[in-house]
Structure 1
Amino acid sequence: MVSHLGVMVVVAAVLGVVVSGLAIPFAGVLGFTARTVASGIDELPQELVTDALPQRTRIVDQRGETIATLYDQNRVNVSLKDVSRPMVQAIVSIEDFRFYQHGALDLKGTLRAFVSNQASDSVVQGGSSITQQLVKLTLIQQADSPEEIAAAQDDSYARKINELRYAIALEQEHSKDWILERYLNTAYFGDGAYGVQAAARNYFDVNAGQLNLRQAAMLAGLVQNPGRFDPTNSPDLATERRNVVLNRMAELGVIEQQRADQLKTRKLGLDQPAKQNGCVTSRVPLFCDYVVSYLKQDRSLGRTPRQREQMLKRGGLTIRTTVDFKYQEAADQAVSDNVFPREQAIGALAVVEPGTGEVKAISQSRPYGADKDAGETFLNYVIPQEIGKANGFQAGSTFKSFTLAAALEDGLPLSTTYNSLSPMTFDQANFETCDYGPDLGGTFPMVNSTSSGLMNMYSGTRLSVNTYFIQLEEEVGICKPFELARAMGVRLTSPNGEGGVQPEMYPNFTLGVADVSPLEMAEAYATFAARGLHCESRPVTQIRDAQGNVLKNYPAQCDQVMEQSTADAVSDVLRGVLEGSGFAAAQALDQPSAGKTGTTNDGNSVWFAGYMPGMAAAAMIAGVTEAGEPDSLLYKTVGGSTVYSASGSGFAAPIWGEAMRVIDDDFEYEDFVYPSGVSGVGNTSVAPPPSPSPPQNTGRGRGRG
């Protein structure tokens, strides 16, 4: 008798609700006074703010093919017109079949559910309308703390009253179709899928507009309890729940009972593609990591690192990148053929387009991932340290090209000749530094590892003669090559910055003592290929928002950092490295190419940076310890063979050549521009200098050819 009386009281309370104003004459059933309820209602906002739903971000290649997805919640919003009719019918039938007939509150449904639940002393039926459910989902979605989430999920009448007030506001502000669309995009369907589009893709690998009746019934059944009915964990329960939906649709006359009975005999028919979230599952994981790290530094995507990360994972962006799958596959193959993942060495290659700075491929021998036993790592050795978190490696004699270009900019002819003996002793006091450079003093010896004798710019560069370049640097000063290298994209630290004087400002700068990444060297050598036009390397060209509007373009950022004739002259010199008896002639391409080898003392790292007019690349192999610290390559196993003598031409250049011979197939034959206006072009013969060589002086030898 008491139970029936309680039901009658609650029914009376519910019937006292005036939907337009939510007037409740009494609410003592739960111990609330009418004044408390009314006061609480008065304090509620008049409308529910519905923020943009988190959506997954797509990273695509230059042709628009997806290479990765990023998300906190796997969701892709779709309009109601892009959801199949069976899906709409199924969700309305099982969740709120009178949705289009009632307002924010379905009195009949609420009373029916309340009476049924009271009679069974348990929750048998839900009485919330789709609009009320949307309110609850929205409050949970937009909660910023565990306390707010708990409040949104609180199973109390106070929470339901709040929920109803918000539901009334939604019904007043929005159409039924808008509410249903928002609900379908907000609801969680289990197995990490938020919204009907992600669910359709996750379970059946189709779009929401292609869902058939059997598939739609299963999805519609999940929203009541996505964890319990998850078909990936509980297929039997999911099947039972699907059949409940089919029976309900037949009971309401939406489908024929015979059709429902036929479908109930069918299996779930799951077709689940592999999940992709983050860079580990990407087709090009290392490039994906580069893109994400690059964008996390872009303050236009958020003021703080956390805001930028949320934008990437929740903003529903489409990020168009510069990666070319063909070039990436060529780079991966070349690196993997020459350096194996578990060896104590890092092999790497970066490919950059001259004149645009677009990064077409990056590759390293250690795969991207967490399995250390398989040689995997999350460190990206190919890109600069501030982005990839890995220290660079000394680039050896590839730095000689910066001194060569600085000397040409200074007006020295290509025929500039020095008697380049080995050994020679140099005085650091004879080297001019920048205003912020150190006061140098003391002598140091220098030896050659290749050839000695009379050398000009052609022979001194092609033979990579250390004492020639120390003398050339003595004439032009240290500052000019240093600043030119920075202008070409090499991240060198200014000596007057924090940490004091940097070793790059000593005479051995020309021998490549600075730690750099392959991407920096590819960017720098692309400047020569672009005839002195330096373009900052970039992996992204455009970002669009979830509605397809352009959020931001990333145009080429280019500056002419040297005379075109200077770059042309450098190319004329460096092409000799890949021609005739040049150190890297074995890697010659089908069209004109130029480059420079680099090897550091003790063989810690070997390099080859080179280019053709249309593309540039830099390859590196560096020795590392088990802990990842720089170490000699000597007597290590690299590519399955023991290294007894390391050189840029013998180890790094083959990586460059293997990849670039694939890449150059996409280019028509194009020669370098003849370096007009530069004195001594083509004069490879060497005559004694017109006057005695300056006193033989300068620094610490660190580079070899």
Structure 2
Amino acid sequence: MSSPDPDRRPPDAAPPDTGAAAREAAAAAKVLARQLGILAAGAARGAGRTGRDAARATGSLVGGLAARRRAAAAADPGAPVESAEAALPARSLLAFRRRPLRPILIAAALVVALPLAALAAYVLFAFLTLPPLGGVVIDQGQRALTVEADDGRVFATRGAFRGQPITKADLPPHLAQAIVAIEDRRFYSHWGIDLRGLMRAAWRNAVGGGVREGGSTITQQYVRLTSLNQEKSLRRKVQEAFLALRVESEMSKDDILLGYLNTAYFGAGAYGIDAAARRYFGKGAKALTLPESAMLAGLVRAPSQLAPTRNFGGAKERADVVLQTMVETGAITAEAADAARAKTVTLRTPPETPPGSNYFLDLLAADAKKLTDAPGDLTVRSTLNLDLQSLAEGVVARRLDAEGGKKKIGQGALVAMSKDGAILAMVGGRDYEDSQFNRATQAKRQAGSLFKLFVYLTAYENGLTPETVLVDRPVQIGDWEPQNSNNRFRGAVPLRTAFALSINTVAAQLGDELGIPAVIATAKGLGVQSELPNVPSLSLGSAEVTLLEMTRAYAGVLANRTPVESFDIHAIRGGAAAPLYVHPDAKPAAGLPGDSRTMMLDSLQAVVDGGTGKGARVSGQPVGGKTGTTQDYRDAWFIGMTPDMVVGVWVGNDDNSSMNRVGGGDVPASIFRDFVQRASAQMAKGRKRPSAAKAEPQPAEPATAAPAPAAPAAQPPGSEARGVPEVIDTGTLSFRGRTVRLTGVDGQGGHLARQLARYLRRREVVCTPDAGGTQGTRCRIDGDDLAALILSAGGARATEDAPPDLLAAEEQARSERTGMWGGRR
């Protein structure tokens, strides 16, 4: 049976009611339009309407159409019944369009809501973990030490300068205006956070391609210094903002500004504005001038980079920027800014510490800490003689530069001490920047024959004399068989000769006869603090000791004191007028018993006069001393003395490797001689050293206290050269074709010669033959010795036969790393 054709109407069927169909379609269209309007309105209101709203609207549409369809069927039972889907062909299209919006809207809501929720939680966490206000104690390192030489000249600083907290009465108006202008020009109008300033900083940084300006207010910087650490994180920035708002609600603007100025870092170890004013200008903050205030205000952004002690030009440029900003903010007039720029800003500050003196300063800083625990900045009058220190650094460097390579010597150390124990000079190594290990005070090395001082002194104290005869012969003490360095035996020799020639077998016999404990007691009595083992080989220096303690022991023989206490500080002063510490006068102490000291001094002089220390002889001066050489030439020592001073020298290698047959009478004795033969003259003169502040020769100070050369009329005819010379090299000048070679100067070409040419441009130089009988010439410019200026500025090397004043000038340049000595040695 075929199925009925829905398009065919039965013959008896009534014709369709077209009017009813039209009415139904119109009603359905109205319902559809109303529901679409509802959906459109809901979508326009945003995320509040979700996919479920759309589903309900669509359901109501379908339900309404179904109800009308059922009513029509009841009115006309013969009409065909269609489903709601058939009656609404647009429904499937609507459902197709609406279903994908549901996950998209959910995802969009999550994208917006989750980061906001995370940020809110992070801000809440930062708020809940806020530290207390003022809870950070600024670690400013060790207290500041201003160190003076023995003659009162300031030559170094150490530690952090703190100064005194300033009050509102101490704050100059122009200083406050300078800080506000350059750091936070809207300081008096914001509430701790400056949104306008943040946007300005962000724009300038974006335009500039990097961080060129910060958006933090003075209040934010203050709470960061006093309440937060310095980590760079979002949490710290959020906490900084919260604390800034809190500080603004609890403190006045003036108090915030004062707090910031009292805690900010201004470079060169200066914390707080008062410390900075004293560090750079030698005055309190209250006395600062406008150009000085502008310079200090410019430092807080980059204190280490702009500190005027190392970058005066950069600090001056930044001060000009501060003055211009003050003009822009109306704090000062343009005329006042111009007048401030025209004023000369003079630094009254210690120079950069000479690198070589840092070995001494390390020792001094530790001793100062032991001597006083008073708070605040300290000024220390040291025992260091700057002329001798420069000389010591120079002679060690010169000798090791000349012979260190071929003789395989890596390091050297020197201690010069007065006979009362004051340390006059100290060299702890070739280069402090390479190694801060002080080989004069920290390195413990075998003393070798240097230790025989205690053996022979014990012998003299027990009745023997320099004329007592012992036999140089093969010796065996237990399992130990000492040998002489030349593997020979001299037979019967007096003790003076045995000591002068450093005969090992005689010293071993003495130690065995006297007893090693007696030798140890003598060494301890003279101040040796290192452990001394009770073994026979101790007589030949098998114990490890330091250069400082051995030098001190020899000083005890010279001063006839047991022991001599070495010291490096004369006095310590704080803020009060009364000193905090003064080195006490030496207390009465026992001397060496009987005539033992006289006999020991005689034996020490015999070493230099005709023994192993002949290389230490100094013309015109009585000198005594003792050499020391350890096994396989690992260490070489010489400690010598003049009537007023004891000088100890050590050379060797840090890895304890052998040198190329270097004994105590070789390089150490030569270093002693080089030092002593000029030290006495320098101490007697008491002259100021020539300036070496810059790489170019500077006429700031005369190189010598000698009078100016005699008038030209007193010179042989034609001997004088005068005029503006042409520079061939830094040791050779040309006056209209006449070549003049400077006495004692090994000239250098290149950029050093060009610097000298610029210095001499349009300046008259007067040259006369050297009165010392050499083939060179001494020239003067503006009354100063040109050769000394060149050498002290590091513009040349001194020749081997240069006069002492020129050698001293070169040694100064070496120690201060100026000119050609600016690189690492």
Output the TM-score relative to the length of structure 2: 0.54
Counterpart residue type for residue 264 of structure 2: A
1:474-485 equivalences under 5 Å are: 474-485=512-523
Asked if the contact 2:172/2:288 (under 8 Å) is kept, the reply is yes
Asked if the contact 1:318/1:544 (under 8 Å) is kept, the reply is yes
**Alpha-carbon shift at residue 134 of structure 1 (Å):** 9.5
Q: 1:411 to 1:50 in 2, by over 3 A?
A: same
Q: 1:329 to 1:239 in 2, by over 3 A?
A: closer
* Corresponding residue of 1:332: 393
Matched, 1:354 2:439: no
Ranked by relative contact order (alpha carbons within 8 Å, sequence separation 6 or more), the top structure is: 1
CA distance in 2 between counterparts of 1:261 and 1:651 reads: 61
* Corresponding residue of 1:657: 673
Matched, 1:363 2:427: yes
Q: 1:183 to 1:600 in 2, by over 3 A?
A: same
CA distance in 2 between counterparts of 1:111 and 1:511 reads: 78
Counterpart residue type for residue 488 of structure 1: L
Asked if the contact 1:420/1:468 (under 8 Å) is kept, the reply is yes
Paired residue secondary structure (1:381): coil
Deviation string 1:82-134 (CA, Å, 9 cap, x unpaired) is 87674356457888999xxxxxxx9x84579989789999999x99999x789
Deviation string 1:404-440 (CA, Å, 9 cap, x unpaired) is 111222333444322223xx12233xxxxxxxxxxxx
Matched, 1:593 2:623: yes
* Corresponding residue of 1:506: 535
Counterpart residue type for residue 347 of structure 1: G
Q: 1:608 to 1:92 in 2, by over 3 A?
A: same
* Corresponding residue of 2:506: 468
Q: Output the aligned Cα RMSD.
A: 5.2
CA distance in 1 between counterparts of 2:573 and 2:153 reads: 15
CA distance in 1 between counterparts of 2:626 and 2:431 reads: 27
* Corresponding residue of 2:481: 444
* Corresponding residue of 1:487: 525
Deviation string 1:302-359 (CA, Å, 9 cap, x unpaired) is xxxxxxxxx9xx953333322111211221222123212974312222111222x221
* Corresponding residue of 1:56: 144
Matched, 1:161 2:246: yes
Counterpart residue type for residue 483 of structure 2: M
* Corresponding residue of 2:773: none
**Alpha-carbon shift at residue 478 of structure 1 (Å):** 0.8
Matched, 1:632 2:664: no
Q: Compare CA radii of gyration and give the structure with the larger one.
A: 2
* Corresponding residue of 1:678: none
CA distance in 1 between counterparts of 2:506 and 2:192 reads: 95
* Corresponding residue of 1:67: 155
* Corresponding residue of 1:426: 476
1:605-620 equivalences under 5 Å are: 605-620=635-650
Paired residue secondary structure (2:440): coil
Paired residue secondary structure (2:438): coil
Counterpart residue type for residue 450 of structure 2: T
Asked if the contact 2:224/2:230 (under 8 Å) is kept, the reply is no
1:536-555 equivalences under 5 Å are: 536-545=565-574, 550-555=579-584
* Corresponding residue of 1:685: none
- Count of matched residue pairs: 540
1:17-166 equivalences under 5 Å are: 56-71=144-159, 76-77=163-164, 86-87=174-175, 90-91=178-179, 109=189, 136=223, 139-140=226-227, 154-157=239-242, 160-161=245-246, 164-165=249-250
1:278-317 equivalences under 5 Å are: 282=355, 284-292=357-365, 298=370, 316-317=377-378
Structure 1 segments unaligned to the other structure (5+ residues): 1-30, 32-39, 99-105, 302-310, 371-376, 386-391, 429-441, 496-504, 635-644, 669-705
Q: 1:443 to 1:508 in 2, by over 3 A?
A: closer
CA distance in 2 between counterparts of 1:216 and 1:531 reads: 57
* Corresponding residue of 2:384: 323
CA distance in 2 between counterparts of 1:589 and 1:74 reads: 48
Matched, 1:570 2:600: yes
Asked if the contact 1:76/1:198 (under 8 Å) is kept, the reply is yes
Paired residue secondary structure (1:618): strand
CA distance in 1 between counterparts of 2:192 and 2:238 reads: 22
* Corresponding residue of 1:405: 457
CA distance in 2 between counterparts of 1:276 and 1:284 reads: 13
Q: 1:119 to 1:162 in 2, by over 3 A?
A: closer
CA distance in 1 between counterparts of 2:382 and 2:645 reads: 17
Q: 1:479 to 1:114 in 2, by over 3 A?
A: closer
CA distance in 2 between counterparts of 1:328 and 1:83 reads: 42
**Alpha-carbon shift at residue 608 of structure 1 (Å):** 1.5
Deviation string 1:616-674 (CA, Å, 9 cap, x unpaired) is 1112222x3xxx3222222xxxxxxxxxx533223321111221222333789xxxxxx
CA distance in 2 between counterparts of 1:581 and 1:237 reads: 65
**Alpha-carbon shift at residue 603 of structure 1 (Å):** 2.6
Deviation string 1:556-578 (CA, Å, 9 cap, x unpaired) is 77753632632232112212223
Asked if the contact 1:339/1:365 (under 8 Å) is kept, the reply is no
Deviation string 1:419-476 (CA, Å, 9 cap, x unpaired) is 223xx12233xxxxxxxxxxxxx35253463762222332222222222222221221
CA distance in 2 between counterparts of 1:661 and 1:526 reads: 19
Counterpart residue type for residue 519 of structure 2: P
Deviation string 1:539-565 (CA, Å, 9 cap, x unpaired) is 233443456764445547775363263
Matched, 1:259 2:346: no
* Corresponding residue of 1:21: none
> Identical aligned pairs, as a percentage?
27
* Corresponding residue of 1:677: none
Paired residue secondary structure (2:393): helix
Q: 1:460 to 1:271 in 2, by over 3 A?
A: same
Counterpart residue type for residue 486 of structure 1: K
* Corresponding residue of 1:456: 494
Paired residue secondary structure (1:455): strand
Asked if the contact 1:478/1:507 (under 8 Å) is kept, the reply is yes
* Corresponding residue of 1:417: 469
* Corresponding residue of 1:695: none
Asked if the contact 2:359/2:432 (under 8 Å) is kept, the reply is yes
Counterpart residue type for residue 477 of structure 2: D
**Alpha-carbon shift at residue 491 of structure 1 (Å):** 3.5
Q: 1:97 to 1:564 in 2, by over 3 A?
A: farther
Q: 1:156 to 1:654 in 2, by over 3 A?
A: closer
